Structure 1
Amino acid sequence: MDTKFNKPKGFGEILDHTFSLSKNRFKDFFLILLIFMGPVFLLEAILQLFSGTSFFREVGKGNTWIEQNLSSFLDTGTFDSSDFGVDIGTIIVGLVSVVLALIAKAAILFAIDHLRKNEAYTVGSVIKQAFSRFWPMIGSNLLFGFITFWIIIFPIVMVTLTAVFGYMVNPILGVLGAILLFLGFAVGIGLLLTRWSFYFGSVVLDKESPGLGRSWRLSRKRTWALMGLYIIFYLIISSISFAIEMTFGSFLGNSVLLTLIVNIATLFTTMIFSVGYAVMYLDLKTRHDADDLKEMIEDYNTKTI
């Protein structure tokens, strides 16, 4: 077993291990994502070309270069029935990309688990393993998405009602109350989703569906640290995506080429998050297994005394 996986890791150690694996196994992980997401991104580019978007540089209305670039992102154009098929195609491509991304992330999770056990693997073998968990992954993700939807909708309704009725009584207190309620709900939702978010690792590696209960047990006593790691990964990924989109978008406009560049960057950031998620999940397993072993030893000592 890889010694880096063999002991519980702290906040910084998880980040360090994530970037170390991403660097050392970049070719394998990136290839897995490219196999699944590459055709989707290519089809998306073709749909953009059919909709009339320029390949190299898309400009909109305006007198200056900056105005033309900005308007290319803001100008949605008039409705054209001939674009209806392109819009439907874009929606279908988006749905397909979600499913394929799940399989790619599962394949990366299997690959890292093989590394943990010092086992040899190939890109093809881990992709085959990922497909073997296809339906449990789909079912569990639909359930998690349904739960997430209602967990978010309820607070939105509550905050809105508080803001409206509170404003009628006292505008200042109404706004402040809505802000405080929003912040409280945001933290609560973040903690709940963090506790349940490791269902995917349970479904893929431990073959336990839907995995929400196991995720809840694994993340016990680690919720704040895990949510902090999610925030760090989000900030890193958002910074990379924003920098690339702003840099290339400033002279390419909302063109097909910009979309391709942004999508390639998305492969890279998705790889980082997928590896980070795998490291976090396997760290939780290590901690949980160690706790179970301690409890077994304590129970044994109690019975023998």
Structure 2
Amino acid sequence: MTQESRAEPSSTGPDGDIADFVDLLRCPVCGESLTFDEPGRRLFCPLRHSFDIAKQRYVSLLDGRSGSLKSDTADMVSARLRVHDAGVLDPVVNAVAEAAAARSTQARSVHTGSPVIVDLGAGPGHYLSAALGSVEHARGVGVDLSKYCARALTRRVPGAGAVVADVWRDLPFVDACADVVLSVFAPRNVDETARILRDGGRWIIVTPQPDHLAELIEPMSMLSVSADKSDAVSAAVGRRFETVEQTVVRERRDVTASTIADLVSMGPTAFHRDRDEIEGAAHTFAPGSTTTPVTVAVTVTVCQASVDR
């Protein structure tokens, strides 16, 4: 279970590293609490399962049972960073921040008194960063299956923690530790989210509307989410949570061919087409230096954990 590179002891320093959120974590193998070894280079539990802290200041808590699941590559993460830097998804980022802020006056963690935000499927951390910026004195942890996402998150979200884990499996968090959980364009593990949220905690879910990036789907041969799968997950959410707010965010954004290529390259289509092919299709669709309008359209659903769940 050891990971690629061990950190120097400074990786557990005061700047929002593992030490700042280890109290929220539990061993993915046995469920026991985790602590540091003497040099501060790994985490271990009372049963001596151990997990090295990478030099980039994240920890992998994979339990070895996730098989060969695909995760974001370095190129996919780079494309996503460029899309966010271009501001294409700012309407979604802002909506997540607003939803988190609406909870900030009440959210207090049962562990430390500070609100805790957990982002499941965090990617490189843009949505976690926005949520943390809107909630005073909050602590944040981003979880993703991709080590490249974890590396980017530690660089771009100062003070947040990064964990590599499979959000479809048992989450490596102690019970009732989170005040807010984010699932933005990400898998929704209903039972585990209910477990880690404290009573009255909020789950902020962002899902694409049918017209999200619709202008690109056919010409760029992008993969789309199955409606049946989405409906099944929504039904499961409804059995464990109360929906307290649901908002549709829809804006048109002007994008260049290179940004179109990045929008395609940051998602699952990139597993099936190489970058050169994607860029060629993008420049055919949006030739020259012109910009093309695309629709950013999502539903932001805020759910509250019920007391009797």
In the superposition, the TM-score normalised over structure 2's length comes to 0.23
Considering fraction of residues, name the structure with more helix: 1
In the superposition, the TM-score normalised over structure 1's length comes to 0.23
Considering fraction of residues, name the structure with more strand: 2
- Please say which structure displays the higher CA radius of gyration: 1
